[in-house]
Amino acid sequence: MTTTTKTPTTKKRTVQKTKSTRAANSVDPRMKQRRTEVAEEAGRRQRRTILALALVTVGAIGSMFLVQSSWMDVDQIVITGAIQSDVFEIRDATGIEAGDPLLELDLGQAGESVSNLAWVETAWVERKLDGTVTIHVEERVPVAAIPTPVGLVLVDRSGRQLETVDTNPAGFVPIHGIQASGVIGTPAPPAAQGAMHLIAALGPELSGRIDSVYFEGNDLNLALRDGGHVLMGTDSGLTDKLVSLETMLNKVDLRCLWQIDLRVPTAPALLRISGEGEIGAALTNLADCS
């Protein structure tokens, strides 16, 4: 009969294993549950990350095919608001043509290019997924005709030259004493800004009583339809000057009128002229005018 004797080392290992087993069996169930939950959450995060990467990859590939597909090309170009402007010129300015990839269009640049055309004040471009590109245009409004070396040029209130014409359009107050280049799309001379501000500030009643706007040097003046003229000076304080002018035209006896000086709007001065050519603030015989 053989007898097996355990060595101290074997006994020590057995004791340690027993302790480890007891320690493992003594772990709080809540800690074990928490470890399980952490492991499961890490697995879910990993799966979500893999799924997200897959979706991004599929989306990128799909977008690439969609952009290159004829389904997403420009099918038609529509222009709205163009009355004076040439629609073909507007279309050419955008650089957009039928068949271009719809999603690759630079809409901001296209709108800016259209805004540089002579008659266009503002423009913006929009696209729809059905392949339609719409160019919206707001045009400038001419307010006066300024002489040029070969005729007249229409200008808007900013002084931009829009179109050359042979005669002053009906309803436009003629302007004399300055000259524009007639180069379409460029600004009129700086002095013209004063005339534009004046004409824009005139109401319907005053416009009907003014024959023309003219310059003497850099000073603005008005010729009245019923005779006489008005010294306006610069275009500063135009509102006060025009209120004063309207008041005088409506409430003052204008017989023998020669001049109304509104260069100081709070102190308007009126001069009359007699039949003999006498000019003064007050004439004794208003029935005898030149």
Question: Which CATH number belongs to the domain containing residue 112 in this structure?
Answer: 3.10.20.310
Query: Measured between alpha carbons, how far is 224 from 230 in angstroms, rounded to an integer?
Result: 8
Which range has highest mean pLDDT (135-139, 237-241, 251-255)? 135-139
Give the pLDDT confidence score for residue 148 in this predicted structure.
Answer: 94
Of residues 284, 231, 233, 286, the one with CA closest to residue 257? 286
In the chain, what percentage of residues exceed pLDDT 70?
Answer: 81
Q: Within a domain: residue 97? A: yes
Residues, the chain: 290
Ranked by mean pLDDT, which of 60-64, 201-205, 207-211 comes out on top?
A: 207-211
Of 283 and 252, which is predicted with more confidence?
A: 252
What proportions of the chain, in percent to the nearest 5, are helix, strand and coil? 40, 25, 35
What is the per-residue pLDDT for 9?
52
| Mean pLDDT across 245-272 | 91
pLDDT on residue 76:
94
Phi, psi of 102 (to 5 degrees): -60, -40
Separation between Cα atoms, residue 50 and residue 43, nearest integer Å: 11
Q: DSSP letter for 150, please.
A: T
- Take residue 72 and report the two structure tokens written for it: 């997403």
Lowest mean pLDDT among 63-67, 132-136, 162-166, 262-266: 63-67
Question: Is the pLDDT assigned to residue 36 strictly greater than 90?
Answer: no
The pLDDT-based confidence of 82 (bands split at 50, 70, 90) is very high
Q: Is residue 47 part of a domain?
A: no
Lowest mean pLDDT among 4-18, 28-42, 177-191, 212-226: 4-18
Query: What is the pLDDT at residue 3?
Result: 47
Average pLDDT over residues 89-115: 95
Instruction: Give the total number of structural domains in the chain.
Output: 3
Residues 225 and 150 in one domain: no
H helix or E strand, kind and range, residue 137: strand 132-139
Query: Which is higher by pLDDT, 216 or 288?
Result: 216
Q: Are strands 76-80 and 132-139 parallel, antiparallel or unpaired?
A: parallel
Q: Could you tell me if 207 and 272 lie in one domain?
A: yes
Residues 149 and 120 in one domain: no
Task: Please compute the mean of the pLDDT values over residues 96-111 and round it to a whole number.
Answer: 94
229-233/219-224 β-pairing: antiparallel
**What is residue 290's predicted lDDT score, i.e. its pLDDT?**
55
Is the separation of the CB atoms in 128 and 78 below 8 Å?
A: no
Would you give the DSSP letter of residue 177? S
Q: Note the pLDDT of residue 171.
A: 86
Which residues in 143-175 are b (16+ Cβ under 10 Å) and which e? bbbbbbeeebbbbbbebbbbebeeebeeebbbb
185: confidence class by pLDDT, cuts 50, 70, 90: very high
Distance of CA 260 to the CA centre of its chain: 40
d(CA 269, CA 258): 11
Long-range contacts of 157-161 (CB under 8 A, 24+ apart): 157/196, 157/197, 157/199, 157/200, 158/187, 158/196, 159/187, 159/188, 159/192, 159/193, 159/196, 160/118, 160/185, 160/186, 160/187, 160/188, 161/118, 161/185, 161/186, 161/187, 161/188
* pLDDT value at 118 more than 70: yes
The residue segments making up the domain with residue 266 are 202-290
Q: Of 88-102, 131-145, 202-216, which gets the smallest average pLDDT?
A: 202-216
pLDDT at 15: 47
Do residues 212 and 147 lie in contact, with contact meaning Cβ atoms separated by under 8 Å? no
One-letter amino acid for residue 96 of the chain? I
Q: Does residue 224 lie within any of the structural domains? A: yes
Torsions phi, psi of 246, nearest 5?
-65, -40
Average pLDDT, whole number, for the chain? Answer: 83
Tell me which of 117, 139, 161 is where a domain ends: 139
- Please indicate, yes or no, whether the overall pTM of this predicted structure exceeds 0.85: no
In a domain, 59, yes or no: no
| Mean pLDDT confidence for 57-67 | 54
Instruction: Please tell me whether residues 134 and 145 are part of one structural domain.
Output: no
pLDDT at position 4 is 47
